[in-house]
Amino acid sequence: MPRTVYVNGAFVDENEARVSVFDRAFLFADAVYEVSAVIAGRLVDNDAHLARLRRSLGELGMSMPCTEAELIDIQRELVTRNHLDEGALYLQVSRGAADRDFRFPRDATPTLVMFTQARALIDDPVAARGLSVITVPDMRWKRRDIKTVALLPASMARTQAADAGVDDAWMVEDGKVTEGSSNNAHIVTADRCIVTRHLGSEILHGITRAAVLELSRREGIEVHERPFSVDEAMSASEAFVTSATAFVCPVVRIDGRAIGDGSPGPISRRLRELYIEMARASAN
Ligand code: PMP
């Protein structure tokens, strides 16, 4: 069944949707995006995603293509039109189409695109068995806090992981883990503290990361926001990643070494449960 997607003011069949070859997303990766989870037909933590969208746009000198209320109306309409019960809603704003020129055009009209992807998020078999990851050098640019569509290094890392027969890659810079190819990376120490990289321009400020750290603190779990090395991760008692669609997903193997006993740890499993409970209760 072809999906209905949204492009610049219109809901259209995915096979009919068109964007200009001069769109700056296509020529310069001059675009930012957000992915919100959908569960039971409702958006999870969407206000936080739209707040980060506004920030990403602002950092690149772009403004919101319409009001936040209008964006939410379009998102909900798209979920409804596609009968999406569980999955993801992708939203992208580019600077728009303009003749090819490195300088930002002054008068381009932003391109707004949205589409849905149906997928089981809650009963994800990968979360039950845990992820195996490899470590790779972080080859991205220095403003990873801006959620741009320049995803080639992440795409290469994920492909390298798949070629190595594992699920994902953790990116490493100066001996320290930055984040996963499309998620934030966390470890749990022997004394039950969560260690996760501090916010800065080296990582994306994950919306799920923020929610999960808040839930952890409420559970009485200490959180240390600082860099950690691959060695520290390998000798941790647990490891996990967070993202809008993975929620909390245990990591059980790094570069072939088992983490803890090599199965999803109790804190990771508990945080996944708590996050899903919160997401179900607050999705709207
Ligand atoms: N880091 C990177 C590099 C990502 O691509 C993502 C997911 N888009 C995340 C972290 C997780 O962010 P969020 O929890 O907002 O999905």
Domain coordinates of the chain in residue numbers?
4-118, 125-282
Question: Rounded mean pLDDT of the chain?
Answer: 98
In the structure, what pLDDT confidence band is assigned to residue 275 with cuts at 50, 70 and 90?
Answer: very high
DSSP H/E element including 154: helix 152-163
| pLDDT value, residue 131 | 98
Cβ pair 248, 210 in contact under 8 A? no
Nearest CA to ligand 1 atom 12: 206
Asked if residue 44 lies in contact with residue 36, where contact means CB atoms within 8 angstroms, the answer is yes
Max intra-chain CA distance, the chain: 57
Measured CA to CA, the distance from residue 88 to residue 245 in angstroms comes to 7
Contact 139, 181 (CB under 8 A): no
Average confidence (pLDDT) over 37-54:
98
Mean pLDDT of 198-209: 98
For residue 167, name the pLDDT band (cuts at 50, 70, 90). Answer: very high
Q: What are phi and psi of 33, to 5 degrees?
A: -145, 170
Q: Does domain 125-282 have CATH number 3.20.10.10?
A: yes
The secondary structure of residue 255, as a DSSP letter, is T
99 CA distance to ligand 1 centroid (A)?
31
User: Which whole number is the average pLDDT over 60-89?
Assistant: 97
Pocket of ligand 1 (CB under 6 A): 35, 179, 182-184, 204, 206-209, 242-244
Name the percent of the chain lying above pLDDT 70. 100
Reported confidence tier of residue 27, pLDDT bands at 50, 70, 90: very high
Contact of 172 with 184, CB cutoff 8 Å: no
Overall average pLDDT of the 55-69 stretch? 97
Edge to edge, the sheet with strand 10-13 lists 10-13, 4-7, 111-118, 87-94, 31-39, 42-43
Question: 18-22: long-range contacts (C-beta < 8 A, 24 or more apart)?
Answer: 19/97, 19/111, 19/113, 20/97, 20/111, 22/97, 22/98, 22/99, 22/100
Average pLDDT over residues 239-244: 98
Q: How far is the CA of 70 from the centre of ligand 1 (A)?
A: 24
* Averaged pLDDT, 85-92: 98
**Does domain 4-118 correspond to CATH entry 1.10.10.10?**
no
* pLDDT at residue 24, as a whole number: 98
Catalytic residues, by residue number, are 147
The pLDDT value given to residue 118 = 98
pLDDT at 98: 98
Q: Residue 179 Cα, ligand 1 centroid: separation in angstroms?
A: 9
Q: Whole-angstrom Cα distance, residue 140 to residue 145?
A: 11
pLDDT on residue 150: 98
Residue nearest to atom 4 of ligand 1 (CA): 182
**Closest atom, ligand 1, to C-alpha of 210:** 14
How confident is the model at residue 153, as a pLDDT? 98
Ligand 1 atom at minimum distance from 144 CA = 3
Residue 76 CA to residue 32 CA, distance in Å, equals: 20
pLDDT at position 119 is 97
Amino acid at 237: S
Owner of token pair 């070494």: 257
Residue nearest to atom 9 of ligand 1 (CA): 183
